[in-house]
C-alpha cells in the first residue's frame, strides 16, 4: 500500500555539510505498484478522456495527411525547448540552432537542449512502435546525459530544498527502483486503459519513482510522446505539452503531488490528477493546431520563394536543410550538401535574396552565420501559441 516512510539519519561527524553532521529525519514515498491497484476513473473523467482522445486523433490525422518535415522538426524542437525550460535550462532558439551546427559559440545550455531534442526523438522512435524495455528507457536517458553512469540511480534522490531533510519530495529507496520500473514497463506494455490515461499514469508514476539522479522530468515528458505515437494518436509531430506546462509549472507540480496519495485513497487522487492532466493535453492539442497552420504557411511561402529556380538546383536541398538547421554557414552547407565552398556561398546569397535567411544579428553579427527568422520565430513563439490555447 502506498505510504510515506519516516527515515532517521544518524549524525555523520565526517559529513561535508552541516545537515549531514547534525543528522535528522525525512519522509520518502513508496508508491503502489500499478499491478496492485485499479485505475478506475469517474464517469465524467472518462468522458473527458474520450473527448481529448478524439481531438488527439483528429490532430494526428491532419499531421499524417500532410507530412511536412517542417512540422515534425519544429514541433519536436519547440517541445524540447519548453521541457528544458521547466527544468531551469533556458536558452533562446537561435543559440540552440547555433549549437546544432557545432559552432564554437554554442552555450552550455544550448547544448543541453540539443541533447533533449535527441532524447525526445529517441523516445518517439524506440517507444513509439514496440514493447517498452529497460534498455530503451536507459538509452533515452543516456542520450540526454551521456556523462552519467549508465543505469538507474544507486542513491537517494529528492526534489527541492538544499538537502533531503528540507526536500519537497524524496523518492523511494534506490534498491526498489528496478522493481518499480519493471512494474511500470509491464503496465505500459499491457494496460487496456485509454492511451491518454495511460500516458498520464505513466508520467506520474515515473516522476514518483524518480529512477535517475538527474533528467527525470525531461525523460518523463518524453515518455508521454512515446505513448501517443505507439497508440497511433499522434504521428508526424508532437503536441506542445511542455509549452502548456511552462505556463502553469506550479499547477503541474501540485498535480504530481496530488497523485502521491497515502494509504488506499488512489481513486480520489487519480481522478484529480488525470482530470488536470487531460486539461493540459486539451490545451496542447489546440496549440498544436495553431502551430501546424503557422508551419504550413512558412512551407508554402518558402516553396513559392524557390520556385523560380530549376528543379535540380541545390537551393531546394538547401532550403530543406534550413528547416532542420535554422542557423547555417556556407561551410555548413558545403559539408552537408556535398558542394564546393564557392557553390555554398552562392547558395547562401540565393537563400538570402528570396528571404529565407539573412545575416545573423546581435552577438553573431560579426560571424559567418545566417539565420532563418521564420523558423526561429516559430520556435520562439511556440509557448505563446500554448498560452493562446489555454485562454481560448
Per-residue confidence at 386, pLDDT binned at 50, 70, 90? Answer: very low
User: Hey, what domains does the chain have and what are their CATH numbers?
Assistant: 38-284 (1.10.3290.10), 295-382 (1.10.10.10)
Cβ atoms of 171 and 156 closer than 8 Å: yes
Span 273-313, pLDDT tens digits: 999 999 999 999 999 999 999 999 999 999 999 999 999 99
- Per-residue pLDDT reduced to its tens digit, 181-235: 999 999 999 999 999 999 999 999 999 999 999 999 999 999 999 999 999 999 8
Strand residue runs (E) in 147-283: 158-159, 169-170
Sign (positive/negative) of CA torsion 86, 293, 222, 200?
positive
pTM confidence score: 0.91
**What pLDDT is stored for residue 14 in this prediction?**
74
Measured distance CA(213)–CA(89) in Å, rounded: 17
Q: How far from 307 is each of 67, 273, 313, 347, 373, CA to CA, in Å?
A: 20, 50, 10, 15, 20
pLDDT tens, residue by residue, 48-85: 999 999 999 999 999 988 888 888 888 999 999 999 99
Residues in the chain, how many? 392
Amino acid at each position: 500500500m502506498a505510504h510515506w516512510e519516516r527515515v532517521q539519519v544518524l549524525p555523520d561527524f565526517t559529513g561535508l555539510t552541516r545537515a549531514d553532521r547534525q543528522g535528522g529525519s525525512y519522509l520518502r514515498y513508496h508508491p503502489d505498484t500499478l499491478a496492485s491497484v485499479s485505475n478506475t476513473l469517474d464517469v465524467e473523467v472518462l468522458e473527458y478522456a474520450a473527448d481529448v482522445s478524439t481531438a488527439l486523433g483528429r490532430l494526428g490525422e491532419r499531421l499524417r495527411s500532410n507530412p511536412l518535415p517542417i512540422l515534425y522538426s519544429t514541433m519536436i524542437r519547440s517541445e524540447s525547448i519548453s521541457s528544458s525550460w521547466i527544468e531551469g535550462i533556458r536558452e533562446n532558439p537561435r543559440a540552440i540552432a547555433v549549437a546544432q551546427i557545432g559552432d564554437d559559440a554554442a552555450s552550455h545550455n544550448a547544448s543541453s537542449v540539443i541533447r533533449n531534442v535527441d532524447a525526445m526523438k529517441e523516445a518517439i522512435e524506440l517507444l513509439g512502435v514496440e514493447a517498452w524495455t529497460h534498455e530503451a528507457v536507459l538509452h533515452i536517458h543516456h542520450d540526454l546525459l551521456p556523462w552519467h553512469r549508465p543505469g538507474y540511480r544507486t542513491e537517494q534522490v529528492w526534489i527541492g530544498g538544499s538537502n533531503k531533510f528540507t526536500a519537497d519530495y524524496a523518492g523511494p529507496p534506490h534498491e526498489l527502483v528496478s522493481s518499480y520500473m519493471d512494474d511500470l514497463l509491464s503496465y505500459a506494455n499491457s494496460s487496456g486503459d485509454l492511451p491518454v490515461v495511460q500516458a498520464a499514469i505513466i508520467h506520474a508514476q515515473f516522476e514518483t519513482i524518480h529512477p535517475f539522479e538527474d533528467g527525470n522530468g525531461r525523460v518523463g515528458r518524453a515518455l508521454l510522446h512515446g505513448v501517443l505515437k505507439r497508440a497511433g494518436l499522434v504521428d508526424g509531430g508532437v503536441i506542445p505539452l511542455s509549452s502548456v506546462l511552462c505556463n502553469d509549472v506550479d499547477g503541474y507540480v501540485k498535480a504530481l503531488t496530488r497523485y502521491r496519495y497515502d494509504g488506499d485513497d488512489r481513486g480520489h487522487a487519480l481522478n484529480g490528477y488525470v482530470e488536470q492532466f487531460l486539461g493540459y493535453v486539451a490545451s496542447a492539442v489546440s496549440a498544436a493546431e495553431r502551430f501546424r497552420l503557422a508551419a504550413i504557411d512558412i512551407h508554402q511561402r518558402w516553396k513559392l520563394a524557390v520556385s523560380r529556380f530549376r528543379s535540380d538546383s541545390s537551393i531546394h536541398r538547401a532550403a530543406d536543410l534550413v528547416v532542420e538547421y535554422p542557423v547555417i554557414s556556407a561551410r555548413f552547407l558545403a559539408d552537408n550538401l556535398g558542394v564546393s565552398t564557392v557553390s555554398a556561398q552562392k547558395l547562401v546569397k540565393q537563400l538570402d535574396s528570396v528571404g529565407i535567411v539573412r545575416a545573423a544579428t546581435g552577438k553573431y553579427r560579426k560571424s559567418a552565420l545566417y539565420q532563418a527568422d521564420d523558423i526561429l520565430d516559430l520556435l520562439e513563439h511556440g509557448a505563446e501559441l500554448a498560452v493562446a490555447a489555454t485562454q481560448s
